[in-house]
Amino acid sequence: MRNKLIILSGASLVSALPAMAYAQAPAAGGSSSGLSINASAEVRHDSNIARTSAATAALRGLSRSDQKFSPNLNLSLGRSIGAHSVSLSSSLGYDFHRHNTRLDRERIQAGASVALSMSPCAPSFNSSISRRQSELGEVADAFGNLQTVSNAETQWSVGGTIACGKSFGLRPTAGITYQDNSNSSTQRQGTNKRITTYQVGLGYLHPSIGDIQLFAQQRELRFKNQFLPTGEQNGNRQRSYGVSFSRNIGARLQGSASVNWSDVESRQPGVRGFSGVNWSANLSLKATPRMQIQAGLGKSITSSLAIDSNYNVSTDYSIGASYAVSPRINFNTGYSHTKRRFEGALGVFTPGLAPVNVLTNDKKNSVYASVDYMFSPKLKFILDGGHDARSANAAFYDYKNNRVALRAELTL
């Protein structure tokens, strides 16, 4: 009965949205209040929602093939108060699974920002919080805790920046951000962490040249529940020095690029550090009045809340295209490749604990395609599908997944 209820609820909500769209149409002459409300509903099928082999899925008590119904509500509000501005945003949703009910989980995200104009400086402050079910392809540790798939990740951050100077020309900047990341599952709390990031920079902005930023950054990461033999918390320190550049090259081409030198020092005994160049580049081209092409690539130092590692080096490539078949129909397709190298399996420094499935490197390839149909100015339907394939040094982490979804989005 529950299985049918989930699918029927999704179908009923999707079919009801056209009538809601017309019912919500504003009267002529209405004015904008700065409030935006968007509701959506998605029915999705995954051939391998467990993101693992059939044998491992069985050990975890998961069905690999599953359907998911996901309603969602987004709200955003922006206000100008004289020369200052305030913005708020929130997203609230829930995932209902037809078979794997223990993966049912809320999805919550909220953020707030304040930008002040206090000539000659412009300080800004921001905060955010999010909570969701961990990606199952990431929920696995080096010690074989297979049953820890039901895990909610909660992440929140606060920060502020200040930039001084005129709209054009030189602008010195400084900022600080604090993040706290936690897991709900007891077995996953070893990767709970705090991150503090400090940054200073000098920018130069000019319409004919673009936006150039010289910057220096320090990122301090500490694992809250991991202690070294010396008694201090495990973690790492990353220092980066670099330059970024962005510019609109005519009306059809936009681009940005960044390159920096990074040094990573791990506090975990026996874990090698990292010294080298990281980079990113993004390009958007309006090839024809109907076609737009995007491409991106990058290399960066990151850390995962779900994977047992001190840090990882990630390299990404992506390319995508969109084509407007008609004013109502739009087609999108793309490909992405991610390669990661993980350093420092957590717990290796603890006497008596021997890793079982140590993840040292992986690769993931994804292809996708979607068709958008504008039923009305306020209602859009999206049909999308894709294929993901992951391979790693340990077969435990390998998987393939095919997905297809129908989503309806209503702007109220």
- Give the tens place of pLDDT for each residue, 370-399: 999 999 999 999 999 999 999 998 787 889
Q: Position of tokens 């990292």?
A: 274
- Give the tens place of pLDDT for each residue, 251-302: 789 999 999 999 999 999 889 999 999 999 999 999 999 999 999 999 999 9
Write down the pTM of the prediction.
Answer: 0.84
CATH (one of 3.40.50, 2.40.50, 1.25.40, 2.40.160) for 2-26+34-411: 2.40.160
Confidence of residue 407 (pLDDT cuts 50, 70, 90): very high
Which is nearest to 256 in space by CA: 211, 197, 220? 211
For the chain, the domains span 2-26+34-411
pLDDT-wise least confident of 27-36, 63-72, 156-165, 344-353: 27-36
Distances (CA, A) of 337 to 137, 257, 272, 365, 368: 16, 19, 25, 5, 12
Distances (CA, A) of 5 to 1, 9, 72, 100: 6, 6, 18, 15
Residue 127 has pLDDT above 60, yes or no: yes
- Give the tens place of pLDDT for each residue, 171-219: 999 999 999 999 988 878 888 999 999 999 999 988 888 899 999 999 9
Q: Which amino acid is at 110?
A: A
Q: Which residues contact 395 (CB under 8 A, 6 or more apart)?
A: 53
